[in-house]
Amino acid sequence: MVSRVFWICLSITSALLISKGYLWQLWSLYHQQGLLSQRILEQQAEIEKTTGQIKKAQDIDFIEQIARDRYGLVKDGDLVFLFQEGPGH
């Protein structure tokens, strides 16, 4: 008798889960959780990268190197070579 009642309750519960779409919603939420977990990991990696860049940007030697590389700036005492193209170049 108990076994029969159990199976009837299980059948009714399963039918309701499937007919109302709850099972699909549950699977969809589980899938979305996986996607969001992946995005969280990606964002944490991006935060670590940005934090490293911020720390580097606070270093005066790094700033000086960027100024030299990007803008061609020189420091007092640097030896600078200027090349001129000859005629016809």
What is the average per-residue pLDDT within 79-87? Answer: 83
Structure tokens at 80: 């600078």
User: For residue range 24-58, what is the model confidence (pLDDT) as tens digits?
Assistant: 888 899 999 999 999 999 999 999 999 999 999 89
Sign of CA dihedral 21, 22, 27, 29: positive
What is the distance between the alpha carbons of residues 81 and 66, in angstroms, rounded to a whole number? 19
Residue 11 belongs to a domain? yes
Residue 38 belongs to a domain? yes
Q: Specify whether the CB–CB gap between 73 and 63 falls below 8 A.
A: no
Domain extent, residue 23, equals: 2-71
Residue 88 belongs to a domain? no
Residue 21 belongs to a domain? yes
Is pLDDT larger for residue 84 or for residue 21?
A: 84
Residue 83 belongs to a domain? no
pLDDT of amino acid 89 = 60
Number of compact structural domains in the chain: 1
The overall pTM is greater than 0.75: no
User: For residue range 14-23, what is the model confidence (pLDDT) as tens digits?
Assistant: 887 777 777 7
Residue 60 belongs to a domain? yes
Residue 50 belongs to a domain? yes
Residue 37 belongs to a domain? yes
Q: Hunting for tokens 């699977």 — which residue is that?
A: 27
